[in-house]
Structure 1
């Protein structure tokens, strides 16, 4: 009995030393870091297995979160909407289909803000029209985008991000994430290169002025005049190798509707005009494309996809509501209610204006992030899909190339965040003795993202030991 008591005391001493060692090592890292001489950091670590805090440094200060805000969006979506929730795009018609295969009415396309709706899904809608026996539309192709308001850009988003594919124009009708894929393949020297754009559509025009294997023509450029919201794709310069690029299209919903009409005409469905309107209650539904929440969640976290995160954010207000014209403020209120009643934090102490973390108006703390991580851990129905969707250190997602040569390899499941001046990391790490820790690190006012990531990786290595 005496030996057992001594053994328990020994283990207790080891655990105390373990906790002290982490604190000492993290304090040493923070105090000696050259990075922090010109920047700030907030750190919060909590031992979920033991139910106690491990480390805190400026953890209640407010910082711009960048994409770690997707942790808040994802946990809230899983808790409020549930893993079985779907993002639906529906097809219906008004009037009647005659024996001559003419639709004496309108074909209705009802958007539900599915961020992962791709060209193959559009092909399914076109085939559904044929299966319904429609070969000509006497009325119009009417797009119903009334579920959301008409604001396609988030509050506090950088205006010059409009040129990049990672920040498409938001709409209830999203096709190919609001982008086209442009592929350029050089031909014989001096000739125009081959250009392929998908999805194929009459919504854009291709202006190919590039030449093959003529170096003095300069670097190959694939672009559109985003400043004037034009959708002409300009290819200029020297094409010396096969390459490609994603380009966002102005007005995602117009891109969707025009491309759908283009596909219908290719299938010899007679169609004269397009319009926007609201689908009447008496419409006959003929098809639905449903996207499970899991697919949207996985891309939002693994790939840090802004569009998927915004879809989760908006659906917090859309889900279960019959209201039209849902906007960002409605989604903000849904986040605030969950924060107040479930996370037990006061929303007025923070600023959350979007779902992706892109806005410069977002301000949260590492302590708040850890509270969401703790909530997820305490609720199995939230934790299991959330944990599975997080990037894994050295394995996949935005952590694929990080922490490969340390004991944090495969032990860290966490969300990254990067915008100009900000680098962040929040998630879970398993220690060498088997405890699961929740942590959040936000580096602020940094000019070198690489140095901030190395700093974060060192923290994870210490926690994993």
Structure 2
């Protein structure tokens, strides 16, 4: 599989490993035979050899340029036809594709016009994180004692769970953590000999400001799984997974939740219906409570029903889960669960806490893979606030965005027409230009962490949000990119490797379209396929 990496000289891109076949085999043997014959007569051997080398270089360069120029004319003509199709031509298109070998812009359409980028914003957020935090940065989640530990194993006081923005306290996929973080911390607390806590289990959520959300998010976003609440203590993407299965006709259905916790009370009113019954089953949380109501009919012929329910108060849920783990490990808790939010307690008071146990996340690049490949909005927003907390003194969007803007200035990337309001791209108020986006990608290709950044992007036909796009040969594996989708917005930005072995940096944006998003994506993919196959 082809992939792009940074060359050691001049920040250019190259292909490691096996060589690539050229697009067209050129037969120049007769031409060079004639050159050799002429120069053997006219010149001494050393000078003839030098001149032959120069002439050969000029001949190959000229032919290569002519072949590429001809291919480019074909590509540009076909793209012009694509963009004239009914339903496609009414969209606003912005495209810039650059060949970094000679810094040539090979295709440009509205490069300085502003567009809504959708999730392509995640490239900006994750790039800033790699530059500022470093690829080896680890999130730290700690258990602290507020009180004295008695010789009999009693903590006379509170146990504090301090969250610092780790988006992966759980590992639903199963390839990130050896065990869930809260289970690990509870076992470490027990290993210290603690058997009883006389106070409360407190979730310290103050690393972020929990009471704010990004500008440009709609009311529907805030009610949806993809717009889940942003919290320094977060778990399971801040949603509860509920699954239901039929039992016997006219009997209550079977309901289970994940993560399993005492935090929620599930009120099961669901009934198993006949084979021909219509499914009406639905789960909803009652606002301001911990109750989830499951009601309706699930036909006996259904294999099951699954639904996500948003955690309105993630930190409280995480602290309750931690208490559950402590009890499972034989540690009694006399008190209740409560939460400390941003500004609730001065830092001076926290310095008197005693660290008992700490979990360190895998290196940052693992978290960035989830953000870019799976396009996880919550994780991107948590990362933005982590940047603010670490470098601007506050775990807020505003502080995080200041860090991003400073990074762009330091990188020398022109961003006067860019407006950013969040870290995920969910905000409709974000705007970028195609030229800005390709400039950022070109800058990243020169950084020492470029290979790591590239590994976080989806790969065509292979994984992430590109797993089922550009999947046929020879397109599979040739594109590393970030996708973006909102209502009326589709985008793709990243790196591609052509069949001839050239590497291109590209950004394609479509806004305000009336056609289906599937047709727009198909057009974007066709543009990429043209360059992979013909350039």
How far is 1:17 from its partner? 3.4
C-alpha separation between the residues in 2 aligned to 1:283 and 1:66? 42
Provide the C-alpha distance between the structure 1 equivalents of 2:402 and 2:218, rounded to a whole number of angstroms: 23
Matched, 1:242 2:304: yes
Q: Given the alignment, which residue of 91, 95, 108 partners 1:43? A: 95
Matched residue SS, 2:371: helix
Task: Find the counterpart in structure 1 of residue 358 from structure 2.
Answer: 288
- Structure 1 residues 230 and 152, CA, compared in 2 at 3 Å: closer, same or farther? farther
Q: Secondary structure at the match of 1:105?
A: strand
Shift of residue 181 of structure 1? Answer: 1.7
Alignment of structure 1 residues 49-448 onto 2, 5 Å: 49-118=101-170, 120-214=180-274, 218-225=278-285, 231-239=291-299, 240-266=302-328, 267-277=330-340, 278=345, 280-291=350-361, 292-319=363-390, 323=393, 325-346=394-415, 348-381=416-449, 383-447=450-514, 448=516
87-96 or 201-210, which moves further after superposition?
A: 201-210
1:365 positional shift? 1.1
Contact 1:265 / 1:271 at 8 angstroms: preserved in 2?
Answer: no
Q: Decide which moves more: 216-225 or 138-147.
A: 216-225
Structure 1 residues 417 and 233, CA gap change in structure 2 (3 angstroms): farther
Q: Which shifted more, 132-141 or 406-415?
A: 132-141
TM-score relative to the length of structure 2: 0.81
1:20 shift after superposition: 4.7
CA contact (8 A) 2:495 2:504 kept: yes
Distance 1:61 1:31, change over 3 A: farther
Distance 2:145 2:469 in 1: 51
Shift of 1:6: 4.9
SS of 2:88's equivalent in the other structure is: helix
SS of the counterpart of 1:413?
Answer: strand
Q: Distance in 2 between matches of 1:152 and 1:254?
A: 17
Q: Which residue of 1 aligns with 2:36?
A: none
Secondary structure at 1:287's aligned position in 2?
Answer: strand
Number of aligned residue pairs: 461
Contact 2:419/2:432, CA 8 A, preserved across alignment: yes
Comparing 65-74 and 31-40, the one that deviates more = 31-40
The answer to whether the 8 A contact 1:180-1:247 is kept is: yes
Residue 453 (str. 1) matches residue 521 (str. 2): yes
User: Given the superposition, is the C-alpha separation of residues 226 and 152 from structure 1 closer, same or farther in structure 2, using an over 3 Å criterion?
Assistant: farther
Secondary structure of 1:29's counterpart equals: helix
Superposition CA RMSD, Å: 2.2
Deviations 1:25-81 (A, max 9, x none): 234323443243221110011112333222111111111101111111111111111
- How far did 1:256 drift? 1.0
TM-score by length of 1: 0.93
SS of the residue corresponding to residue 459 of structure 2 reads coil
Contact 1:408-1:429 at 8 Å conserved across structures: no
Over 3 Å counting, the alpha-carbon distance change for 1:6 and 1:186 in structure 2 is same
| Contact in 1 for aligned 2:286/2:293 (Cα 8 Å) | no
Give the superposition deviation at 1:338.
1.0
Moved more, 5-14 or 440-449: 5-14
CA contact (8 A) 2:267 2:291 kept: no
C-alpha displacement at 1:308, in angstroms? 1.6
Cα pair distance change 1:58/1:167, threshold 3 Å: same
- After superposition, give the CA deviation of every residue in 1:229-286 in whole Å (9 maximum; x if it has no partner): 7641424322421232332211111111122223333434123133334462122111
- The whole-number CA distance in structure 1 between the counterparts of 2:289 and 2:462 is 39
**Larger gyration radius, structure 1 or structure 2:** 2
Q: 2: CA distance between counterparts of 1:60 and 1:438? A: 16
